[in-house]
Every structure is written in structure tokens, then in C-alpha cells.
């Protein structure tokens, strides 16, 4: 009877030098992943790296940003980290009721005194920075609050008003 003790071992012997090289490679990979995770944790919203991102202000386009609370803002939109968008030169439309001059009576071209004053909605483009609390003109919007955004055409009334306002 033969014993298994006399048979040569089928396990491959590990070369100590090769194992040392493989350990170094594994350590470097783990270290690289850890450093990356620490940097992401320190810069959770990529606020430091956001300065490297180019916005639409550079290309001169204006955007309309539609939010989940039914607000619409206008400005230059750029990504601000992973979770936020930044809207520079932010504006919004304020709608207010205004009285319209009395309509003249067709017979004598004079306003009818018995006529109720007519009211109409008037839309005004307002700068965010002109609000009562006088904030800066930049909005930082969480990405989950943005429904969608659109580039404004250069010939749109809003874009022309914004451009003429910027040249003042």
C-alpha cells in the first residue's frame, strides 16, 4: 500500500518575490480608492470642482428653468456639483393686477363714469436681487426641484429684455 505522504504536493509554491509585488499593487489600488473616497467626502457637492465646470453664461445663452413649485426663473444655468444647479443673473416674472384706463363711450368719445375700472394682469421681469431682502442674484437649486430647462432664443421678448438690462 502506498501512502499519500510520499506523493509530491500538487500545490504550487508561491514565489515570495512575486507575492510581494502583487501585495504592493493591491495596496496601491486600495489606497487610491480610499483617497478618492476621502476627496469625494470632503467635497460632497463638488463645490470646489464646480469652478472648473463651464456654464451657459460663457456662451451668452439665457435659460428658462421650470421648478416643481410652478415657479419659472430665467438666467444663466450651470451645474454646481452633483446635487445642485446654479442660476446666475436670476430673474422671474411678477404678475400684478393693474387698472386699465376707462374705455371711452362710443357715442361721445368720453369715458363712461358708471363703468367699473377694468383690471388686467401685467407681467414684469424682476431681478432676484431686487427682492425685499436684497439677496445676491444667484440661485442654487437642488436638482430634484428642477422639472426641466430650456434655452431661450435670442429673439424672444424675455431674452431681449434680459440682454438690454445687462447692457445698462
For 86-130, how does the pLDDT look when each residue is reduced to its tens digit (9 = 90+)? Answer: 999 999 988 888 877 655 555 555 555 666 778 888 888 889 988
pLDDT at 142 over 90: yes
Q: What is the pLDDT of residue 168?
A: 45
Q: What is the pLDDT of residues 10-69, one digit of tens each?
A: 666 778 888 888 899 999 999 999 998 887 777 665 555 555 455 555 567 899 999 999
Q: Among residues 117, 112, 111, 58, which one has the least CA distance to residue 86? A: 58
Q: What is the pLDDT of residue 167?
A: 45
Average pLDDT over residues 149-166: 86
Q: Is the pTM of this model over 0.85?
A: no
Average pLDDT over residues 127-156: 90
Domains of the chain: which residue ranges? 14-42, 53-166
Q: What is the pLDDT of residue 161?
A: 86
Q: Worst-scoring range by mean pLDDT, 5-9, 99-103, 116-120, 151-155? A: 5-9
Higher pLDDT, 83 or 50: 83
Indicate the CATH number for domain 53-166: 2.30.30
Q: What is the pLDDT of residue 99?
A: 78
Amino acid at each position: 500500500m502506498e501512502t499519500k505522504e510520499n506523493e509530491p504536493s500538487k500545490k504550487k509554491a508561491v514565489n515570495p518575490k512575486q507575492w510581494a509585488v502583487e501585495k504592493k499593487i493591491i495596496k496601491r489600488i486600495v489606497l487610491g480608492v480610499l483617497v478618492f473616497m476621502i476627496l469625494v467626502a470632503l467635497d460632497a457637492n463638488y463645490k470646489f470642482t464646480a469652478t472648473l465646470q463651464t456654464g451657459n453664461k460663457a456662451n451668452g445663452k439665457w435659460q428658462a428653468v421650470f421648478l416643481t413649485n410652478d415657479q419659472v426663473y430665467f438666467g444663466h444655468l450651470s451645474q454646481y456639483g452633483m446635487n445642485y444647479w446654479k442660476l446666475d443673473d436670476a430673474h422671474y416674472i411678477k404678475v400684478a393686477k393693474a387698472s386699465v384706463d376707462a374705455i371711452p363711450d362710443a357715442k361721445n368719445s368720453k369715458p363712461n363714469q358708471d363703468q367699473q375700472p377694468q383690471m388686467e394682469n401685467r407681467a414684469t421681469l424682476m431681478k432676484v436681487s431686487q427682492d425685499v431682502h436684497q439677496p445676491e442674484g444667484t440661485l442654487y437649486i437642488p436638482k430634484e426641484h428642477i422639472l426641466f430647462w430650456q434655452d431661450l432664443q435670442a429673439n424672444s421678448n424675455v431674452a431681449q429684455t434680459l440682454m438690454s438690462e445687462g447692457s445698462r
